[in-house]
Structure 1
Amino acid sequence: MDINYQYSKKRGDFGRQPLFCEQGPQLCDSIAPDLAERRRYILRNPVHQFTQNTPSFSQHTINTIRAEYTNSGANHAEGGWPKDVNVTDPEATQRYRRKIEKDDNYIHCVMALSPGMEHYVLQNNAIDMYRSYYAEMAEAPPLERSSVRIVNICRETTHPPRRVRAICWHPDGGHQLAASYTYIDWDRRPLAPVHSLLWDTTSPQEPLLSVAAAGDAIMDMAYAPRAPHMLAAALLSGRVGVWDPRAGSAPVVLCPPHIAHRDMARRLLFIHSKSGQEFFSSGPDGVCKWWDMRNLNEVTDELIIDMVKSPTEPQNMATAFGASALEYEATIPSRFMVGTENGLIIGGNRKGKTAYEKLPARFDAHLGPVWSLERNPGFLKNFLSVGDWTARVWSEDCRESAILWTPPARHRYTAGAWSPTRLSLMLLVQFNGVLTCWDLLRRQQRPVLSAQLCPEPLLSIRMHETGTLAACGSQLGNIYVVEMSHNLAQTDKNDKALLTAMFERESKRERILESRLRELRLKQRQPAAGGASALALTTPAADLAAVTAQYAQTVRRELANL
């Protein structure tokens, strides 16, 4: 069925025809220009506009925890068996093996695999598998990658920044440490707050505790080995005190001023005793004082660091040497060592009855103050000293010269320490913020590793008892906790024997040189037959001519023997 619809409309309703014509613009409004603004307008021609079509990226590096991977293999000696076969029963496995060997598919598989197997067997016969080839070539040493990384930074926010004077780790082997900070002028007056801080290196955002004595800066700190909750400190005023961090930031006890040091107490160390609460301190006044934490109202012993020439000669405070470093080893309870501001190292013995016996050894170590002094943990006769621009390793048997020393550095060394686990490794910090690791068994002319920890000077270093961590204090109050790689923290099985041989060889060489120098000095003192010394009989020009003639005669003799 069709659907249609019709409609009608008049022609007049369709609309008119549009007629277009040209017509000029019509002005709507006119705004006159501002002459003041017009004078300030400057036409820029040409116009340069930079565009960047590529996306922008930024690069950031982080120090992540190193992951260690190992490759291990398994020796698969037994093949796969069905579930109904007991592998541990020899009769069951033999019975199943005979059943498979009778199968036709097994024979076809063996015949198909035999050509390939024969090919590889003939290849193995071309080379003797049991012969050692290239045995005359030296074995290449394994490649060791030494590295250190900063795991945490303990930042001190006091303004103006204070230098890290000393660092000590908690004796329980954890991650806590105590640090003393000072900022004093030439007159030894504090110019900044005098409190010291206790840190947890696993969360260095905030210190655990702040300890201080009223208006007195702390110069050195040490934990009691048998009472880890007790902390002893040496103060700028010359006094010593004891803190208990559990009781707060105030000192538990301070020694009276009349028995304190005459100058500041610069260094403090605990000694081996039955109670484990005795320590000794020293400073620029040239006196070592022994204390007991249970009674700081009096000193238990006192010794002036003045070396006398005879047992009857009295000591004098006016000629005493100011102490800049102390050293004590618990396995040698009666002996200690003092590094002085004059560059000397003086060995002490508390068992001596006179001052002459109490200070028996003297070493002319450095040109300036001795900043660090520490015995090797495995070789107690050898000790490390740091001063001026060198670090030296000494032996108690050789007092005139060190047995090992580093080349003079461009920036002076400020502190050093031995590794407690790797006996041949010593760590040194420099005034330019560089940490250097010296391994005496690998090389002695330059360090095995140098790391720029910070732009400011590094002033102190203390090793953790595990040997993997080291805390380095800077001039701006930052403590950098550094982790060392495995080859720098662990010792090899032959290292101790090699280090023993090296120390003995170098000590023997120095003893031979010392005896030769003594002989030369003795010959110079002996007068000649005419009454004048043998050195004064010949002039330098005559000596040079005689040596030249002797050298020429020796050369002619050697040429004649050829």
Structure 2
Amino acid sequence: QVNTDRVKVQSRGVNHVEGGWPKDINPREADQTARFRKKLEKDEHYISVVTQLGTLMEHCVKQNNAIDIYEEYFDEEEMIEVEIEPPSAKTINAIRDPNTAKRTATHLSWCPDASKKLAVAYSILEFQQNKTDMSLDSYIWDLENSNKPELVLKPPSPLVTLEYNPKDSYVLVGGCYNGQLAYWDTRKGQLPVEVSTVEVSHRDPVYGTIWLQSKTGTDCFSASTDGQVLWWDIRKLSVPTERLVLDISRKGILQQALGAVTLEFESTLPTKFMVGTEQGIVILCNRKAKTPAEKITCTYSGHHGPVYALTRNPLYPKIFLTVGDWTARIWSEDAKESSIMWTKYHSAYLTDGCWSPVRPAVFFTTRSDGTLDIWDFLFKQSDPFLSLKVCDEALSSLRVQDNGCIVGCGSKLGTVSVMEISSVLCTLQRNEKNLVNAV
């Protein structure tokens, strides 16, 4: 340390909101400003200056009419030219479940404020495999310091799903193994702010929870294998605001309902949502329909087992991806008879999948043999563009950060592998949008 003379510094500025009025004129007083304007307009100098400036202004207006200053000279300017390079990926972090009794990383959610925070839900989904000494905790991790969790979340039952609120990065909602819904405010600590009561909650594990686009930012909905979709306002979790029974016969009989294992909602299509079921059927629903029977719009059938992943293309929402059994399938909402594209049948089950947020032709799938596949269907449909052996155990969950360059994969033993993919996989290619649109 060095002793020096203290220098006093002061910052000064002018809040220039309402014109450049003299200091004796209050701009909020209409009478004062009106009198000052009249006085100024009677000044001979004012008239000559306005005449002089009018000539300059007229020249600029004519110039603007003759030349389109907003004309796009280079339509492909936003498409960054990249050299053709082989696709690659590297593991930049591996986060392990700190508990001795290893649990599955069932769901991942990236923090929406562009920080390197990742919320991970941990539970054991095998029937009657939950041990008495098993921890109920889930965690929020900071990738810059992944030696220990940044925050421990303590739910009433193991979390199956966990989602950040896109409007408020401090708030998360989670779906529990016992069917309850809980939400956290990370500023208030480890315990949930509110938990739904058992009587009005789902009867089976909550496999899908998604935030809705609303003015309050407090609305969400959930789906479960009990055959119900429930809508909630987290400010009052004592009762759901709305309920839908997934009975495709449109009779609303809960005993005939299909069990939901995935839920999909795209904010650009606020009235629609989709549900993937245990029976391999995808249900397209319209929330704003007048009767419960009309809410189930149509169904899509193509998988031999549960639909483990269901997601719309972020750039072309009419196109959606499903993952189930041994294949991934791409569908168009308008073609109900069959999928428009599908992968080959793999030797291992597929467990999850999602689109790239920046490249409409790229999607990711995970397999039960620990492999991550990255597909580019404009380049090749029969085989993945890149396959990576991430771990020896089965991969269970997958999530891509909004920039499209960082991928998180959760495994059956609770390890989350974070990978950075090469620029060719996360940079929009020339004419890619037009080619995907033509599909």
Alignment of 1:418 with 2:355, yes or no, is yes
Alignment of 1:431 with 2:368, yes or no, is yes
Alignment of 1:203 with 2:140, yes or no, is no
Alignment of 1:463 with 2:406, yes or no, is no
Aligned to 1:243: 184
Structure 2 Cα separation of the partners of residues 474 and 363 of structure 1 = 29
Q: 2:123 aligns with which of 170, 173, 182?
A: 182
8 Å Cα contact 1:325-1:371 kept in structure 2? yes
Mapping of residues 88-487 of structure 1, within 5 Å: 143-183=84-124, 185-187=126-128, 189-191=130-132, 192-214=134-156, 216-308=157-249, 314-487=251-424
Q: Residues 184, 449 of structure 1: CA spacing in aligned structure 2 closer, same or farther, 3 A cutoff?
A: closer
Deviations 1:112-164 (A, max 9, x none): xxxxxxxxxxxxxxxxxxxxxxxxxxxxx964211000011111121221110
Structure 2 Cα separation of the partners of residues 398 and 285 of structure 1 = 29
Residue 356 of structure 1 and its aligned partner are, at CA, apart by 2.8
Deviations 1:273-331 (A, max 9, x none): 1111100001011000000011111211110011236xxxx310110000000000011
Q: Percent identity?
A: 36
8 Å Cα contact 1:327-1:336 kept in structure 2? yes
Structure 2 Cα separation of the partners of residues 450 and 250 of structure 1 = 40
Q: Which has the larger radius of gyration?
A: 1
| 2:223 aligned partner, one-letter code | S
Secondary structure, aligned partner of 1:498:
helix
| 2:159 aligned partner, one-letter code | I
| 1:335 aligned partner, one-letter code | K
Residue 190 of structure 1 and its aligned partner are, at CA, apart by 4.7
Deviations 1:415-457 (A, max 9, x none): 0010001111001111111111100110100011111111111
| 2:225 aligned partner, one-letter code | P
Residue 225 of structure 1 and its aligned partner are, at CA, apart by 1.4
Secondary structure, aligned partner of 1:324:
strand
Residue 188 of structure 1 and its aligned partner are, at CA, apart by 6.3
Deviations 1:363-384 (A, max 9, x none): 0121000000000011111100
8 Å Cα contact 1:152-1:202 kept in structure 2? no
RMSD of the TM alignment (CA)?
1.4
Q: Residues 221, 400 of structure 1: CA spacing in aligned structure 2 closer, same or farther, 3 A cutoff?
A: same
| 1:233 aligned partner, one-letter code | G
Structure 2 Cα separation of the partners of residues 201 and 142 of structure 1 = 30
Secondary structure, aligned partner of 1:228:
strand
Deviates more, 1:141-150 or 1:335-344: 141-150
Residue 479 of structure 1 and its aligned partner are, at CA, apart by 0.5
Structure 2 Cα separation of the partners of residues 245 and 355 of structure 1 = 36
Residue 237 of structure 1 and its aligned partner are, at CA, apart by 1.4
8 Å Cα contact 2:84-2:424 kept in structure 1? no
8 Å Cα contact 2:252-2:293 kept in structure 1? no
Secondary structure, aligned partner of 2:369:
coil
Q: Residues 250, 305 of structure 1: CA spacing in aligned structure 2 closer, same or farther, 3 A cutoff?
A: same
Aligned to 1:12: none
Structure 1 Cα separation of the partners of residues 377 and 195 of structure 2 = 43
Structure 1 Cα separation of the partners of residues 355 and 401 of structure 2 = 10
| 2:335 aligned partner, one-letter code | C
Structure 1 Cα separation of the partners of residues 88 and 130 of structure 2 = 41
Structure 1 Cα separation of the partners of residues 400 and 164 of structure 2 = 15
Structure 1 Cα separation of the partners of residues 314 and 183 of structure 2 = 28
Deviates more, 1:259-268 or 1:178-187: 178-187
| 1:165 aligned partner, one-letter code | T
Structure 1 Cα separation of the partners of residues 364 and 434 of structure 2 = 21
| 1:396 aligned partner, one-letter code | E
Structure 1 Cα separation of the partners of residues 384 and 125 of structure 2 = 34
Mapping of residues 35-114 of structure 1, within 5 Å: none
Secondary structure, aligned partner of 2:146:
coil
Structure 2 Cα separation of the partners of residues 494 and 213 of structure 1 = 47
| 2:357 aligned partner, one-letter code | P
Aligned to 1:494: 431
Higher helix proportion, which one? 1
8 Å Cα contact 1:268-1:326 kept in structure 2? yes
Structure 1 Cα separation of the partners of residues 342 and 402 of structure 2 = 25
Structure 1 Cα separation of the partners of residues 115 and 240 of structure 2 = 32
Structure 2 Cα separation of the partners of residues 480 and 264 of structure 1 = 25
Residue 185 of structure 1 and its aligned partner are, at CA, apart by 4.8
Structure 2 Cα separation of the partners of residues 452 and 349 of structure 1 = 40
8 Å Cα contact 1:472-1:481 kept in structure 2? yes
Residue 258 of structure 1 and its aligned partner are, at CA, apart by 1.2
Higher strand proportion, which one? 2
Q: Residues 275, 227 of structure 1: CA spacing in aligned structure 2 closer, same or farther, 3 A cutoff?
A: same
